[in-house]
């Protein structure tokens, strides 16, 4: 009997949950838990990654002083030319051309000279990546509405979800860097190529993997209708209640990432266009839109200031 798309999506979801818990889970264990044969699981894994229902597992360095990264949000006179320029800069790890409060978003290995008006810049905190709940957009917005209605600033207790290590160093050598670059976008890669290329021993490789929770943030991301179905939004919040904001937007059914630059909370979210777009900012909060929720956050002064932009083009590098 032919497997339907609905059945496949259910299997992709289960695979995501397994890899979120154990990123390098063996295929034989996935087979046992899904109660499927090796061939079928191999096919589902291939589909889930190639069609981008699942992205990762990937790793990003924590914010220790010797592995720190620097963020820039810029307004540029010619953003298209600037975007092309930074493609050639060896210090630039990631950059995106944006439409909104900034024209360019740059992540660099260190401070660099930039052209344009700096809207916000500084060392990046650790990342925090949400677990994508298994519910619809309508359910997500309803839960978010309820959380906002119940929120009482006087009862707010910071959880310090986002960590920084700016004044700390960590053991990190040339072999760590080689292994980081190799596994950066796919922690499930096989060992042999990097061991052969850089002459790294198995014991050294296992040491790197064992230390990952200390040195890096590990993230497995999930997109129920596949990544291309969503718009990439970047929000920058000025708030005294950052952990509430993180908890609130972690209800979105797609994976959402958070980090801090200076005193601002930055959120990178993939949102279905029909749930974020509304030109009427007087739209009642009970409607299934994200924009009225943000207006309500501003009205209640949970958020002091908000900026947002949409990613148009972006480029990440294995640096």
- One pLDDT digit (tens) per residue for the chain, 319 residues: 688 988 889 999 999 999 999 999 999 999 999 888 999 999 999 999 999 999 999 999 999 999 999 999 999 888 888 888 888 888 899 888 888 899 889 999 989 888 889 999 999 999 999 999 999 998 998 999 999 999 999 999 999 999 999 999 999 999 999 999 999 999 999 998 888 888 888 899 999 999 999 999 999 999 999 999 998 889 999 999 999 999 999 999 999 999 999 999 999 999 887 766 544 444 444 445 777 888 889 999 999 988 888 877 555 555 4
Torsion angle in degrees (nearest 10) through CA of 42, 47, 50, 55: -80
Contact (Cβ atoms closer than 8 angstroms) between residue 228 and residue 272: no
- pTM recorded for the entire structure: 0.89
Give dist(CA 286, CA 89) in Å, integer: 46
């Amino acid at each position: 009997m032919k497997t339907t798309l609905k059945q496949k999506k259910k299997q992709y979801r289960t695979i995501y949950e397994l890899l979120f818990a154990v990123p390098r889970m063996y295929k034989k264990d996935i087979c046992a838990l899904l109660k499927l044969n090796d061939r079928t699981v191999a096919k589902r894994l291939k589909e889930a990654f190639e069609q981008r229902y699942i992205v990762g597992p990937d790793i990003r360095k924590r914010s220790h002083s010797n592995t720190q990264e620097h963020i820039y949000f810029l307004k540029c006179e010619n953003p298209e030319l600037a975007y092309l320029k930074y493609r050639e800069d060896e210090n630039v790890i990631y950059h995106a051309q944006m439409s909104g409060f900034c024209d360019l978003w740059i992540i660099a290995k260190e401070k660099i000279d930039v052209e344009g008006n700096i809207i916000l810049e500084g060392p990046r905190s650790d990342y925090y990546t949400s677990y994508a709940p298994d519910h619809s957009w309508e359910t997500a917005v309803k839960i978010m509405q309820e959380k906002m209605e119940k929120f009482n600033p006087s009862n707010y207790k910071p959880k310090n979800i986002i960590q920084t290590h700016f004044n700390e160093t960590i053991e990190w050598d040339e072999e760590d860097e080689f292994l980081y670059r190799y596994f950066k976008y796919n922690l499930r890669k096989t060992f042999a190529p990097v061991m052969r290329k850089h002459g790294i021993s198995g014991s050294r490789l296992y040491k790197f993997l064992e230390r990952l929770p200390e040195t890096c943030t590990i993230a497995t991301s999930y997109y129920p209708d596949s990544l291309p179905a969503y718009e990439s939004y970047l929000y920058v919040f000025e708030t005294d209640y950052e952990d509430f904001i993180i908890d609130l937007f972690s209800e979105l059914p797609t994976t959402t990432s958070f980090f801090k630059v200076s005193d601002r909370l930055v959120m990178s979210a993939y949102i279905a266009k029909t749930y974020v777009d509304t030109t009427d900012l007087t739209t009642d909060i009970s409607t299934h839109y994200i924009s009225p929720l943000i207006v309500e956050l501003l009205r209640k002064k949970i958020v002091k200031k908000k900026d947002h932009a949409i990613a148009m083009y972006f480029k990440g590098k294995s640096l």
